[in-house]
Amino acid sequence: MGCKGVVKDNIVIIEQGAELPEGAEVEVITQGWWLSEEARRNASDRESSRRWLARCRRHREKMPKTTDSVQIIREIREARTNR
């Protein structure tokens, strides 16, 4: 079960309507904790985001083009049939 909330005066206030059983143990993890420093900068800075997206596009252009999965399955079936 998951629910959201906010911290106010070091107390977690859970969103309205969330029902937790009395005495339930909970673990609080701050949202976005998994982001790297670069990702945090990119999330808050539009120019950094644009540069990051441009880098991603350049990497994608260098990658080999893939075949449609339907075509791959079709080729596998044909190969099995021709054995």
For 2-20, the pLDDT digits (tens) are 788 889 999 888 888 888 8
List 14's β-bridge partners, or say none.
5
Q: What gap in Å lies between CA 32 and CA 30, rounded to an integer?
A: 6
Query: How confident is the model at residue 9, as a pLDDT?
Result: 93
Distances from the Cα of 64 to the Cα of 48, 56, 59, 67, 70, angstroms = 27, 14, 10, 10, 18
Longest distance between any two alpha carbons in the chain, whole Å: 71
**Tens of pLDDT, residues 23-72:** 988 888 777 667 777 777 766 777 877 888 898 888 888 877 766 788 88
pTM of the model: 0.35
